[in-house]
Amino acid sequence: MIPAAFEYHRPSDIAGALSVLAEHGDDARVLAGGHSLIPMMKLRMADVPHLIDLQDIDVLKGIKIDGGTVTIGAMVTQHEIIVSDALFAAAPIMREAALQIADPQVRYMGTIGGNVANGDPGNDMPGLMQCLDASFVLEGADGTRTTKARDFYEAAYMTERDDEEILTHIVFDATTAGYAYEKQKRKIGDYATAACAALITKDGDTVASASISMTNLSDVPVFSEAANAALVGTTCDAAAVKAAVAAALEDIDPTEDNRGPVEFKMHVAGIIIARAIERAWSRA
Amino acid sequence: MKDEVTRDDRVANLKGLGCSRKRVEDARFTQGKGNYVDDMNLPGMLTGDFVRSPYAHARITSINTDAAMALDGVIAVLTAKDLEPLGLHWMPTLAGDKQMVLADGKVLFQGQEVAFVVAKDRYIASDAVELVEVEYEELPVIVDPFASMKSDVVLREDLDPTAPGAHGPRKHHNHIFTWEVGDEDGTNAVIDDADIVAEESMYYHRTHPCPLEPCGCVASMDKVNGKLTLWGTFQAPHVVRTVASLLSGIEEHNIRVVSPDIGGGFGNKVGVYPGYVCSIVASIVTGVPVKWVEDRMENLMSTAFARDYWMTGKISATKEGKITGLHCHVTADHGAFDACADPTKFPAGFMNICTGSYDIPIAYLGVDGVYTNKAPGGVSYRCSFRVTEAVYFIERMIEVLAIEMNMDSAELRRINFIKKEQFPYNSALGWEYDSGDYHTAWDKALKAVDYEGLRKEQAERVEAFKRGETRTIMGIGLSFFTEIVGAGPVKNCDILGMGMFDSCEIRIHPTGSAIARLGTISQGQGHATTFAQILASEIGISADSITIEEGDTDTAPYGLGTYGSRSTPVAGAAAAMVGRKIRAKAQMIAAYLLEVHDDDVEFDVDRFVVKGAPERFKTMGEIAYAAYNQAIPGIEPGLEAVSYYDPPNMTYPFGAYVCVMDIDVDTGVPTIKRFYALDDCGTRINPMVIEGQIHGGLTEALAVALGQEIAYDDMGNCKTGTLMDFFLPTAWEVPNYETDHTVTPSPHHPIGAKGVGESPHVGGVPCFSNAVQDAFRPFGNRHTNMPHDHWRIWKTANDLGLHD
Ligand SMILES: Cc1cc2nc3c(=O)[nH]c(=O)nc-3n(C[C@H](O)[C@H](O)[C@H](O)COP(=O)(O)OP(=O)(O)OC[C@H]3O[C@@H](n4cnc5c(N)ncnc54)[C@H](O)[C@@H]3O)c2cc1C
């Protein structure tokens, strides 16, 4: 558990970080909270000759809520997400989900930017961002561009982000929809056996809109259009929930690991999705 | 009004037996001021790190160290070839086997030590490890002990397949020993004729003690004065010194072994590891200190595991439920080398305590030890030698018998308990239980939890579940355990020939404070607190005025160390005895000072008083002072003593535990609603320390029962090498524990104490497991194996059709 030697860079602005990235290409990586990257370096599964610490870059910090738009800097920690009352008012699902990530020590360090950029299927924020239909702002040598969370993830640890780009902000619309983040894990500090984010709005007695996404049930987060469709227009009764669960399960592809075999994960996923939908509906 | 110091005040001032004195060691631990092996930094110190095998079974065709040696800062790379001329490429194990220090021609488990890199710092050492080129030729891997016993593949090519091993004849080239206790024919005859017989096979999975601090050492050979000093994470420092002397040829007085603060041991730090041997050799070769500290993955993958017992039982009873016989067979997976840490004559430890707390007239136990391509070990993780396995076995057999008889298992236990008047009780498998009052403890426990009420609630829940009103079922886990701790009498207990006595030495200073040293070593048990309390009550000096030191072989008297709950039963007894020696001399000094006959003074809390004239007395402080400043005819100056205690018998703590658990059948998630633990450890030295030990042991029991496991795939890859997958519970997973007690002193221990550190683990594992299994009993469950993690619980529900 001893990493190989590396150069440590600590730029104070994005341009500085981008120039180190440009200079060293594949040999350089940015460091946010370090709670995914540093363990990989210690296990020598990641070889990073040039580490670019982002913590001095002020524009990557802070949570802004402007009208109906929430903008979160990439370096905002999970702890800051939990304690922000303004964010809780704008999108309460953020707190509920962040509280289920790891433990307080990890959350003091781990950032939202690192969590969504990492591309680990076990990370909880990517699925949540898809549920919120968030946009990711990326900055590179050629300037700034915006991409959708729902298009971002290609495979485990593979995202649409170019190696020489930095994720600077995450943007989504404030939402007062009924919400739930449901997660089963073996213990505090564990990644999900199955997790599901749900946002549901109500029109009278029926579902006006639904957004269901899942974590650690495929090699990428899964946003299930079919599950949403199965709920919209229904009264979210048992039959509708069952149909939505069936649709969501069609979209996932879990693999066996120490948490259990596929058969178990499919079953638990169904339960967790149903619970997320039911809780979100009860709050809609 | 004058403030009078009453006798009660004087007793309270001692902070002796029975006082919930705060742990004196916590001031430094809670402030980060502990001194652990890895805190040591000596001038010029080098660091060692291992090249380890990625394969579970392979032949080594070549090792090329050139690139590693070329790296700046690398001093040496040791392989078996370098150790061979010293005869140190293999080392003896505590179980009479031998183990490779560095791979000699082949590797037998994943993570095995292949080469030892010595470098200027830990970073360079790790870089160099990557540069050592080892070529392997893979061999067939065996991870299943039953397959091993049938396989043509010879794991241990170094052993003559026809020659007997350390524990008698071997049946197969992968077989280690057969150990039998009891009357097999007689037992079979009873079982064959019985009204009722219940049979079950169960697997007590492989797990690991996983102390928070991994293993490590610093070896320092001083070439000028010829002295070797070894600081390390040793649960038995004196034995390490003797072993080091025998292995290295350095005379024992020239070796000093020191265990500094130790961050938990739980059996993991009893044995000798290749890292210690390599560090010593490296320090001898380089002439400077060498540190080796393993990381978490190395600790989990290569140092001593626990359990891995495949147990098959048959238990017979009359129609009324009186048990008539017990048959147990174990296939014990010991991994690549037999490195179990048991007393020499007990290759399966005290597994023959498996008749439990019950009066079973006839029994038989047979254990077969087997080699596989897994890490060596087989230590007693927070238990006396194999006692958790034994207690788990009998407490499951009781449940299975209750199912067979359609009977309540609490009642079945009650019918079969050894009765109070039967103690000392001779068990069918050869132990003499010292004391017990099981019925009283059981009744108290069942009453405390309202057992009848719980059963009613459970029955209602089953009905509600069947009506579809809930998806949560309820389990009531029971366990009643008897431990056997305090190894042990020298007549039958030794480790590498060293009798398992223990010791205490004390010096009373002229001003009436003292320093005492013992042959044991605390790893979190709080010895500095509790041993001082024993001495305080015996001698009459406040515990606050007694320093306790352990773990430095240059200063402490010889002892066999701390494991198997032996510290209080053995070294604690030595402390009481040494106190009595001090008191005997103090009595003579007091009598002289008071100008009366020795027999005319008597001890009273903190002083000797003239019989019938309590106003005439000498305090222990005054007596200590006189011992140093006054010439007393016929009495040597000074006030010190040493005692080596050879216990006449083991001690047998017991307890009654109840766990109430809810299980979500859809997700397999268990929730502990209640946990009640009644412990009887005889005389209670410090109730607060006892409570702390109970909480810790129960938490490790919860871990083992509900998920903690060392698992391998078919290729022998360890799947649980990090704390992401190896379950260590946090405060979140741990319930609120309710603790309770009865007090049945040990009749042979000087203060009646029995030891308690391991009881909660021993009793806790079956209790948590029984709670899971009991929840499914109304739906047809008989037995499922631990660990009861979410998916295995889910699978039980699924197999019973609860998801249909
Ligand atoms: C014990 C433990 C338990 C955990 N449990 C969970 C859990 O349950 N759920 C969960 O979601 N996570 C969990 N985590 C992960 C934790 O939340 C991480 O902190 C998080 O995933 C990564 O954030 P970070 O800030 O630490 O990123 P880092 O580790 O610093 O970086 C991760 C990766 O993202 C890249 N990166 C970081 N920031 C940027 C950026 N702005 N632009 C481009 N690339 C960037 C880095 O180069 C690196 O490749 C756990 C971690 C630990 C140690």
* DSSP assignments along B185-240, one per residue: HHHHHHHHT-SEEEEEEEEEEEE----SS--EEEEEEETTTTEEEEEE--S-HHHH
Domain stop point among B618, B645, B672 = B645
Residues B297 and B365 in one domain: no
* Residue B12 placed within a domain: yes
Per CB-CB distance under 8 Å, the chain B contacts of A191 are 724
CATH number, domain of A147, equals 3.30.465.10
Residues B316 and B336 in one domain: yes
CB contact under 8 A, B794 and A267: yes
Per CB-CB distance under 8 Å, the chain B contacts of A4 are 126-127
Task: Tally Cβ neighbours within 10 Å of residue B141.
Answer: 24
Residues B29 and B48 in one domain: no
* Residue B411 placed within a domain: yes
Residue A215 near residue A122 (C-beta atoms within 8 A): yes
Residues A157 and A114 in one domain: yes
β pairing state of A50-53 and A28-31: parallel
Nearest atom within ligand 1 for CA of residue A78: 17
The CB of A110 under 6 Å from ligand 1? The reply is: yes
A134 pLDDT higher than 80: yes
Q: Tell me whether residue B382 is one of the annotated catalytic residues.
A: yes
> In chain A, what are the helix, strand and coil shares in percent, each to the nearest 5?
40, 25, 35
A184, A190, A271: residue with CB nearest B724: A190
Mutation to probe ligand 1, out of A14, A35, A181 (largest number of atoms < 8 A from CB): A35
| Nearest CA-CA partner of A50 in A18, A76, A74 | A18
Residues A64 and A37 in one domain: no
Residues B309 and B417 in one domain: yes
Residues B53 and B100 in one domain: yes
Tokens of A233: 């227009």
Q: How confident is the model at residue B419 (pLDDT cuts 50, 70, 90)?
A: very high
Q: Ligand 1 mean position to A152 CA, how many Å?
A: 16
Calpha distance B94→B496 (Å, rounded):
6
B1 pLDDT higher than 60: no
| Res B4: pLDDT | 86
Domain stop point among A122, A155, A173 = A173
Q: Tell me whether residue B718 is one of the annotated catalytic residues.
A: no
Q: Ligand 1 mean position to B432 CA, how many Å?
A: 58
The number of CA neighbours under 13 Å toward the Cβ of A234 is 20
| Res B2: pLDDT | 56
The CB of A17 under 6 Å from ligand 1? The reply is: no
CB contact under 8 A, B791 and A264: yes
The CB of A140 under 6 Å from ligand 1? The reply is: no
Residues B523 and B671 in one domain: no
Residues B774 and B734 in one domain: yes
* Residue A215 placed within a domain: yes
**Number of domains making up chain A:** 3
Arithmetic mean of pLDDT, B462-473: 98
* Residue B184 placed within a domain: no
Residues B784 and B680 in one domain: yes
Q: Per the residue annotation, which of B170, B206, B241, B382 is the catalytic one?
A: B382
Residues B555 and B696 in one domain: no
pTM: 0.97
The CB of A32 under 6 Å from ligand 1? The reply is: yes
Summary mean pLDDT of chain B: 97
Calpha distance B338→B94 (Å, rounded):
8
**pLDDT tens digit string along A251-275?**
999 999 999 999 999 999 999 999 9
* Residue A205 placed within a domain: yes
Per CB-CB distance under 8 Å, the chain A contacts of B123 are 2, 5
CB contact under 8 A, A4 and B127: yes
| Res B78: pLDDT | 98
* Residue B691 placed within a domain: yes
B711: closest CA of chain A, how far (Å): 9
CB contact under 8 A, B795 and A268: no
Calpha distance A118→A131 (Å, rounded):
18
* Residue B151 placed within a domain: no
* Residue B732 placed within a domain: yes
Domain that holds residue A250: 181-283
| Res B488: pLDDT | 87
Residues A26 and A75 in one domain: no
Residues B707 and B568 in one domain: no
The answer to whether A181 faces chain B, any CB pair under 8 Å, is no
Domain stop point among B620, B645, B670 = B645
B126: closest CA of chain A, how far (Å): 6
The residues of B whose Cβ lies within 8 A of any Cβ of A are 49, 122-123, 125-127, 130, 295-297, 666-669, 707, 711, 719-720, 723-725, 727-730, 732-733, 789-791, 794-795, 798, 803
Percent pLDDT > 90 in chain A is 99
β pairing state of B196-207 and B46-52: unpaired
**pLDDT tens digit string along B134-182?**
999 999 999 999 999 999 999 999 999 989 999 999 999 999 999 999 9
Residues A204 and A114 in one domain: no
Residue B266 near residue B381 (C-beta atoms within 8 A): yes
Measured by CA distance, the residue closest to atom 50 of ligand 1 is: A102
Calpha distance B401→B415 (Å, rounded):
13
Residues A85 and A68 in one domain: yes
Residue B675 near residue B706 (C-beta atoms within 8 A): no
* Residue B195 placed within a domain: no
| Nearest CA-CA partner of A128 in A168, A166, A207, A72 | A72
Residues A48 and A82 in one domain: no
CB contact under 8 A, B126 and A2: yes
Measured by CA distance, the residue closest to atom 33 of ligand 1 is: A118
The CB of A121 under 6 Å from ligand 1? The reply is: no
Summary mean pLDDT of chain A: 97
Q: Ligand 1 mean position to A51 CA, how many Å?
A: 15
CATH number, domain of A29, equals 3.30.43.10
Residues A185 and A223 in one domain: yes
Residues A212 and A256 in one domain: yes
Per CB-CB distance under 8 Å, the chain A contacts of B798 are 267
Residues A86 and A111 in one domain: yes
The CB of A106 under 6 Å from ligand 1? The reply is: yes
CB contact under 8 A, A260 and B794: yes
CATH number, domain of B250, equals 3.90.1170.50
Q: Which amino acid is at B137?
A: E
Q: Tell me whether residue B235 is one of the annotated catalytic residues.
A: yes
| Res B579: pLDDT | 98
Domain stop point among B584, B617, B645 = B645
Residues 6+ apart with CB under 8 A from B109: B53, B56, B57, B302, B335, B336, B373, B374, B375, B376, B716
**Number of domains making up chain B:** 3
Per CB-CB distance under 8 Å, the chain B contacts of A267 are 666, 794, 798, 803
Size of interface A-B (CB pairs under 8 A): 66
Q: How confident is the model at residue B104 (pLDDT cuts 50, 70, 90)?
A: very high
B290 pLDDT higher than 70: yes
* Residue B174 placed within a domain: no
Calpha distance A11→A148 (Å, rounded):
27
Per CB-CB distance under 8 Å, the chain A contacts of B130 are 44
Calpha distance B675→B449 (Å, rounded):
9
Residues A44 and A64 in one domain: no
Q: Cα B371 to the chain's mean position, in Å?
A: 23
Q: Per the residue annotation, which of B25, B113, B709, B758 is the catalytic one?
A: B758
Residues B29 and B41 in one domain: no
Domain stop point among A38, A53, A68 = A53
* Residue A2 placed within a domain: no
* Residue A1 placed within a domain: no
The answer to whether A157 faces chain B, any CB pair under 8 Å, is no
Residues A146 and A78 in one domain: yes
B3 pLDDT higher than 80: no
* Residue A122 placed within a domain: yes
Q: Per the residue annotation, which of B340, B383, B493, B681 is the catalytic one?
A: B383
Q: Cα B748 to the chain's mean position, in Å?
A: 22
**A225-239: burial string, b at 16+ Cβ within 10 Å, e else:** eebbebbbebebeee
The CB of A139 under 6 Å from ligand 1? The reply is: no
CB contact under 8 A, B719 and A184: no
CB contact under 8 A, A259 and B791: yes
B667, B728, B798: residue with CB nearest A184: B667
B123: closest CA of chain A, how far (Å): 6
Residue B516 near residue B504 (C-beta atoms within 8 A): yes
CB contact under 8 A, A187 and B730: yes
A189: closest CA of chain B, how far (Å): 8
Per CB-CB distance under 8 Å, the chain A contacts of B717 are none
Please tell me whether the peptide bond between A3 and the residue prior to it is cis, using omega within 30 degrees of 0.
no
CATH number, domain of B533, equals 3.30.365.10
Calpha distance B730→B708 (Å, rounded):
13
Q: Ligand 1 mean position to A155 CA, how many Å?
A: 17
Query: Rg of the Cα trace of chain A?
Result: 19
* Residue A66 placed within a domain: yes
Domain that holds residue B735: 305-486+650-799
Q: Ligand 1 mean position to A106 CA, how many Å?
A: 9
Per CB-CB distance under 8 Å, the chain A contacts of B724 are 189-191
* Residue A104 placed within a domain: yes
Residues B99 and B222 in one domain: yes
Residue A130 near residue A150 (C-beta atoms within 8 A): yes
Nearest atom within ligand 1 for CA of residue A102: 5
Residues A66 and A164 in one domain: yes
Q: How confident is the model at residue B639 (pLDDT cuts 50, 70, 90)?
A: very high
Domain stop point among A53, A69, A91 = A53
DSSP of B313-353, one letter per residue?
A: EEEEE-TT--EEEEEEEEEEEEETS------TT-TTTTGGG
The CB of A124 under 6 Å from ligand 1? The reply is: yes
